[in-house]
Amino acid sequence: MAAARVVLASGNRGKLRELTELLEPLQLEVVPQSQFGIEPPAETGTTFVANALLKARNAAALTKLAALADDSGLEVDALGGLPGVHSARYAGEHATDEANLAKLLVALAGVEAGRRTARYRCAIVYLRHAEDPAPLIAEASWDGVIITSPRGTGGFGYDPVFVPRGEQQGERLTVAELPSARKNAMSHRGKALAALLTALTTQVRGS
Ligand code: IMP
């Protein structure tokens, strides 16, 4: 049986590779939206779920295929949840990861260690078509603290200043110092994806 195609509303190659492997057993072939010449829509939602839905609906409407999209960001308690849905453009519309991270450290200057709690959040959605009235939605978070100076070269975004609340007491590695397989097993995105796959398996096998 030929695999059904699902458009991925993201240009991220890492996400495409990971999703392709995970969705193969469900006979779903993941195709990035760039293959259809689709530009991402403006992320005007105020929540991660709203933005993931915006991206998935846009891709589903333009391709007439089922669509997958995710949206994620960092929520810092001492900043009332900022940068949140603005994480990718915290320091400006086309800001680099370094500029966003530098702005975060300035915003947290003087905040004592015990009040630097934060979490990454991720929402992933799957739409059977653009007007799907019952999208599959999975959300997950990853708790940690923001340290005062960056460490490590792995990961991306805010990873060099995010120390996850480790299972091993006393471990103080930033996400940028963790092997990527370890990050994927624990991260907000990894956990949200696992939850979505469970829901998707039920939907695909049940229909
Ligand atoms: P998006 O999910 O690709 O829209 O990413 C949103 C932004 O949130 C990224 O550009 C990063 O600034 C931040 N972010 C989301 N997930 C992570 C992560 O796993 N590590 C570091 N930064 C992240």
Q: For the chain, list the domains and their CATH numbers.
A: 4-206 (3.90.950.10)
Catalytic choice (71, 97, 132, 159): 71
Burial of 65 (0-12, 13-18, 19+ CB in 10 A): buried
Strand partners, 54: none
| Interval between CA 121 and ligand 1 midpoint (Å) | 9
174 CB less than 6 Å from ligand 1? no
Q: What is the pTM of this model?
A: 0.91
Output the CA–CA distances (angstroms, integers) from residue 74 to 48, 71, 89, 99, in the order listed.
Answer: 11, 11, 12, 15
The pLDDT of residue 166 is 74
The pLDDT of residue 47 is 98
- Ligand 1 nearest atom to the CA of residue 187, by list position: 19
| Residue nearest to ligand 1 atom 9, measured at CA | 88
Q: What is the DSSP string of 138-183?
A: EEEEEEEEE-SS---SSS-TTGGGEEE--SSTT----GGGS-HHHH
The pLDDT of residue 168 is 56
75 CB less than 6 Å from ligand 1? no
Nearest Cα neighbor of 126 from 67, 42, 85, 170 is 67
The pLDDT of residue 100 is 97
33 CB less than 6 Å from ligand 1? no
What whole-number distance in Å separates Cα of residue 191 and Cα of residue 69?
Answer: 15
51 CB less than 6 Å from ligand 1? no
CA angle 87, 88, 93 (to 5 degrees): 115
The pLDDT of residue 12 is 78
- Ligand 1 nearest atom to the CA of residue 73, by list position: 8
The pLDDT of residue 169 is 57
What whole-number distance in Å separates Cα of residue 52 and Cα of residue 75?
Answer: 17
**What are the tokens at 34?**
């760039």
Active-site residue 159, yes or no? no
48 CB less than 6 Å from ligand 1? no
The pLDDT of residue 170 is 65
**Other residues' Cβ atoms within 10 Å of the Cβ of residue 205:** 8
Tokens 């995105």 sit at which residue? 189
**What are the tokens at 96?**
């680099």
Per-residue pLDDT of the chain (207 residues; tens, 9 = 90+): 557 899 999 877 777 877 787 787 788 889 999 999 998 899 999 999 999 999 999 999 999 999 999 999 999 999 999 999 999 999 999 999 999 999 999 999 999 999 999 999 999 999 999 999 999 999 999 999 999 999 999 989 999 999 999 755 566 899 999 998 888 889 999 899 899 989 988 887 775
Q: What is the DSSP string of 59-72?
A: HHHHHSSEEEEEEE
